[in-house]
Chains A and B, each alone.
Chain A
Amino acid sequence: NAGVTQTPKFRILKIGQSMTLQCAQDMNHNYMYWYRQDPGMGLKLIYYSVGAGITDKGEVPNGYNVSRSTTEDFPLRLELAAPSQTSVYFCASSPRGAGGNTIYFGEGSWLTVV
């Protein structure tokens, strides 16, 4: 009963390094999302996908890239990490659009850029 699985759970990056946050779901959901949550703040949408091969920008896409080659996987790439990218990252999925459906969140990935 895995649901949405994110890896790694914790990571420390140095400024300028790159990394990929992995996200996989086993519910055959078409929609997948990446959010970031800064301390004491709500969730901001980074990128989302409505199906394999289709991605679109959210509210805060700068400094990130995504791809969706399969229904199950939706990795988030950070290029040239900056301290402003220190945050908690949540991947989520839903069977249909999040605005009309329950979305299921992963457990989060805590990223610190130093």
Chain B
Amino acid sequence: QKEVEQNSGPLSVPEGAIASLNCTYSDRGSQSFFWYRQYSGKSPELIMFIYSNGDKEDGRFTAQLNKASQYVSLLIRDSQPSDSATYLCAVNAPYNTDKLIFGTGTRLQVFP
């Protein structure tokens, strides 16, 4: 079992819709969760982080964490073509905040 799993996509949504990106992790020792966005040919940039169960909202983005199910998701409301990118889920290495473990990413395509 991979430590961090994501559906590679592509996930295609129309402009204005809600995009839902999902991530599961294997070890309950991971306590910090991050979503990075990566445009083609560019470096990753942090969108959001979440540490506690529940929802965390920042503008059009909402991160959701369910530690019991070992599941973290990212919702993008009012999706725009400029949101088209690969979204990487990352979690801290179990019981170790020095390192992040990344998933393989989900490619999102928002079409007009």
Residues A99 and B43 in contact, CB atoms below 8 Å apart: no
Given A99-B92, A106-B43: A42 and B97 interface contact (C-beta under 8 Å): no
Given A100-B32, A102-B46, A105-B43, CB of A43 within 8 Å of CB of B97: no
Contact across chains for A58 and B45 when beta carbons are under 8 A apart: no
Could you list 26 A-B pairs, sorted by A, with CB under 8 Å? A31-B98, A35-B102, A42-B88, A42-B102, A42-B103, A43-B44, A43-B102, A45-B99, A45-B101, A48-B99, A58-B99, A59-B101, A96-B97, A97-B92, A97-B98, A97-B99, A98-B92, A98-B100, A99-B92, A99-B96, A99-B97, A100-B92, A102-B49, A105-B45, A107-B43, A108-B43
The 8 A CB mask of A26-58 against B (1 = contact, 0 = none) is: 000001010100001111110010100000101
Which chain B residue lies CB-closest to A56? B98
Chain B residues within an 8 Å CB radius of A82: none
The 8 closest A-B pairs by CB, nearest first: A99-B92, A99-B97, A105-B43, A42-B102, A97-B97, A97-B98, A42-B104, A100-B97
Which parts of B24-59 form the interface with A (CB within 8 Å)? 31-32, 42-46, 49
Report how many residues on chain A are interfacial, defined by Cβ distance under 8 Å: 26
Partner of A99, one of B4, B42, B93: B93
CA distance A29 to B104 in the complex (A): 27
Name the B residues within 8 Å of A108 (CB-CB): 42-43
Known contacts: A106-B43, A108-B43. The answer to whether A99 contacts B102 by CB under 8 A is no
Contact in complex: B97, A40 (CB < 8 Å): no
Determine if B70 is an interface residue (Cβ-Cβ < 8 Å). Answer: no
Q: Is A78 an interface residue (CB 8 A)?
A: no
